[in-house]
Structure 1
Amino acid sequence: MKRRLSVFVLWFFCLIAQAITAEDIAQQLHQPSISGHFTQTRQLHLSGLSIESEGIFSLNKNGLLWWLQKPFDVRTRIYNEQWGQWQNDTQSWLIQPQQALGREQTALMMHLLRGEWSALTQWFDLEATGNQQAWTLTLTPNSAIMRNIFTDIVLQGGQILTSVTLRETQGDVNTIRFSLQPLPPEQARFISDALE
């Protein structure tokens, strides 16, 4: 009986020792720069339709470039606290006003990719489960403004963030999956110029 109890106690403390916290996840996600591909699936509750899109992203100390490539070419960046969209006709960035549509979503994605929880705790409660190899971080809205938009946001990953699922109050579900892959030279040059 004592042996079983001691094995159970040892097992219990091993579980506690391996449990991950939101701060542990933030440390794992904190990298000087990260680039890769994303696929996005938006399931529309009312119509039952599913919309697929894909593109590339790059994040460094200066900001985030989010380049939707399919089905449309839309390039968005947050750079030195300014939000802008790429204009193909003038080959330049058009800086958008602070309240521009899309700014908050892009800023939210930047904070999620960087693991900047302090920027999110004013709107969400965070709950981490799992371990360093396979973790889940659930963000539950704690403010009226976010409760009107999201049911929750669920991040999953290991050494890197692999997916973000945003469940909206009207029933739509938006899932973004990330993969770290080298970018083609032309795209890598564009991103380097955009974020330097």
Structure 2
Amino acid sequence: MKRFLLTLLLLWNVAAHAVTLEQLQQRFASQPVIRANFVQVRTIAGMAQPLVSRGQLLIAQQQGLWWQQNTPFPMTLILDDKRMVQSMSGQPPQVITAESNPQMFQFNHLLRALFQADEKVLKENFTLDFQDKGNENWQLGLTPKAAPLNKIFNRIELQGGAYLNRIQLDDKQGDKTDITLSDTRTEPGHLTDEERARFAPTP
């Protein structure tokens, strides 16, 4: 009887600490602003060496995604609900709007959903394989359901704990992208004046 009660207690303890996708979304929803460093490694079919880039990113639930690549060359990317702006040193910003390229913005919307673990958007576009890895760690595999995503990706995989730590993209051309996030910060929980200015409309 004691062994049976002990087994029940252990099972309850494991279940109590298991992570679900719903809990994960709630956790991310409570993080209105996320700042992190990134290392992106792109392995391209036919190329001997992978392409490695490093920089910082900022995800604000109300404003969008700011991606600042520092190496191997400076490049800034801003994504929000209406536009994508790419800026490179010495060149005028390239602006793409939702009206001019709706397919691009479907992907942009998806990209933000990945960072925020938006269950509704992810279920609309993917078959989900969520696994609790123990100790508050988790893994979410995404297999595209329909075009255009199933024409681009074989699979997308997210890994993390308290925060999203890694994104792996496996595409149809045989290329792979591995994005590792580190030094994730959620404080302050609002944008600073300097951060807010990053999302200001391009003149």
The reply to whether TM is greater than 0.5 is: yes
Structure 2 counterpart of 1:166, one-letter code: L
Match in the other structure for 1:185: none
The offset of 1:35, in angstroms, is: 1.2
- Give the SS at the match of 1:39: strand
Residues 35, 177 of structure 1: alpha-carbon distance in 2 compared, 3 angstrom cutoff: same
Residues 124, 154 of structure 1: alpha-carbon distance in 2 compared, 3 angstrom cutoff: same
Superposition TM-score, scaled by structure 2 size = 0.77
Structure 1 ranges of 4+ moved more than 4 A: 2-6, 87-91, 100-106
Match in the other structure for 2:197: 193
Distance of 2:153 and 2:37 partners within structure 1: 25
Distance of 2:20 and 2:7 partners within structure 1: 23
Identity %: 24
Where structure 2 has 5 or more consecutive residues not aligned to the other structure, the ranges are 186-191
Match in the other structure for 2:21: 22
The offset of 1:90, in angstroms, is: 7.5
Which residue, out of 97, 112, 117, partners 1:115?
117
Match in the other structure for 1:69: 70
Aligned Cα RMSD in Å? 2.8
- Give the SS at the match of 2:197: helix
**Aligned 1:25-174 pairs, distance under 5 A:** 25-30=24-29, 31-60=31-60, 61-86=62-87, 88-89=89-90, 93-98=93-98, 99=101, 105-130=107-132, 131=134, 133-174=136-177
Residues 14, 45 of structure 1: alpha-carbon distance in 2 compared, 3 angstrom cutoff: farther
The offset of 1:48, in angstroms, is: 4.4
Distance of 1:21 and 1:46 partners within structure 2: 39
CA contact (8 A) 1:132 1:159 kept: no
Moved more, 96-105 or 111-120: 96-105
Match in the other structure for 2:181: 178
Distance of 2:120 and 2:165 partners within structure 1: 21
Equivalent pairs, count = 189
CA contact (8 A) 2:139 2:159 kept: yes
Structure 2 counterpart of 1:64, one-letter code: L
